[in-house]
């Protein structure tokens, strides 16, 4: 909030906030959906829009989980000794929204070149909203590789992903940086995330697809198309800057 106040005081006329879906609000404030890293940004985003300043354009750019996290993150599969892959989840028959990072540029360009239309706009960008069987079938179709899907209770899933109660949600912080010991663990943080997807709370009716088509006619329109476009092969490939930076520090 203070950064915003300083920016306005210094004459910034168009403030764009990288936003994420407000999961706790999406779930009617049920604590089972509390997801620290998304709720924190989204609360601030709502505060920005509530300002309604006459001389400052405010735009929220709201993303969802990245399709690219199939390379590395919560979604990447495990390669087995026989060359097949196993995808793990804790989602049941729920649905997860995904955005292809390759499409981010045109959306941001539109925001800055259409200031009047972008004023007080919360632009939700989504490539696909899929169930896990669709992820598996898309992967097999694109790669021809044998694939397994193992959907687990969250406790087991968290263990496989190395998420424990003693790792903070702000796991990427370095020694000496602020760390609140009373804050959420990465395990608790991501549990709310998966609860949202398991219960299918985010659906296409929350996305202005016509506007996305107008802004970016050449956008990627589904997970299978994304896999083909980027040459997705299931192999792990770090791409998140905080994970890469943390790896470098550990080395």
Domain count, the chain: 1
CB of 146 closer than 8 Å to CB of 220: no
CB of 186 closer than 8 Å to CB of 169: yes
pTM of the model as a whole: 0.90
Residue 180 has pLDDT above 60, yes or no: yes
Rounded Cα–Cα distance for residues 144 and 165 (Å): 38
Residue 56 has pLDDT above 80, yes or no: yes
Tokens of 35: 């997801």
Quote the domain boundaries for residue 217. 2-250
Tokens of 49: 């829009």
Give me the pLDDT at residue 163, please. Answer: 87
**Torsion, CA 207, CA 135, CA 156, CA 30, rounded to 10:** 10
Residue 106 has pLDDT above 70, yes or no: yes
pLDDT digits (tens, 9 = 90+) for 18-40: 999 999 999 999 999 999 889 99
Residue 2 has pLDDT above 80, yes or no: yes
Going by pLDDT thresholds of 50, 70 and 90, the confidence category of residue 249 is low
Residue 178 has pLDDT above 60, yes or no: no
Average pLDDT (152-177) is 78
Could you count the other beta carbons within 10 Å of the beta carbon of residue 32? 12
Average pLDDT (75-102) is 96
Going by pLDDT thresholds of 50, 70 and 90, the confidence category of residue 172 is low
pLDDT digits (tens, 9 = 90+) for 200-220: 999 999 999 999 999 999 999
Instruction: Tell me the CATH number at 208.
Output: 3.40.50.720
**Strand, coil or helix: what is 130?**
strand
When mean pLDDT is compared across 90-94, 176-180, 227-231, the lowest value belongs to: 176-180
pLDDT digits (tens, 9 = 90+) for 118-135: 999 999 999 999 999 999
Residue 11 has pLDDT above 80, yes or no: yes
**Strand, coil or helix: what is 125?**
coil
Rounded Cα–Cα distance for residues 99 and 231 (Å): 16
């Amino acid at each position: 909030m203070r950064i915003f106040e300083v920016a306005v005081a210094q004459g910034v006329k168009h403030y764009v906030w990288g936003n994420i879906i407000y999961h706790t609000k999406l779930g009617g404030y049920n604590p089972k959906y509390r997801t620290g890293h998304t709720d924190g940004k989204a609360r601030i985003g709502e505060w920005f829009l509530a300002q309604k300043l006459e001389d400052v354009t405010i735009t929220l750019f709201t993303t969802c989980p990245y399709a690219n996290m199939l390379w590395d993150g919560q979604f990447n599969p495990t390669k087995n000794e026989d060359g097949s892959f196993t995808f793990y989840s804790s989602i049941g028959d729920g649905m997860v929204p995904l955005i292809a990072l390759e499409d981010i540029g045109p959306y941001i360009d539109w925001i800055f070149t259409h200031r009047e239309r972008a004023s007080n706009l919360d632009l939700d960008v989504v490539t696909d909203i899929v169930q896990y069987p669709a992820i598996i079938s898309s992967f097999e179709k694109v790669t021809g590789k044998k694939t397994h899907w193992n959907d687990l209770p969250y406790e087991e899933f968290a263990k496989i992903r190395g998420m424990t109660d003693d790792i903070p949600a702000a796991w990427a912080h370095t020694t000496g940086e602020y760390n609140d010991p009373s804050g959420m663990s990465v395990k608790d943080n991501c549990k709310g995330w998966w609860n949202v997807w398991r219960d299918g709370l985010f659906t296409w009716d929350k996305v202005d697809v016509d506007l996305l088509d107008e802004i970016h006619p050449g956008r990627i329109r589904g997970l299978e198309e994304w896999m083909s476009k980027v040459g997705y092969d299931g192999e792990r490939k770090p791409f998140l800057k905080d994970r890469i930076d943390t790896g470098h520090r550990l080395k």
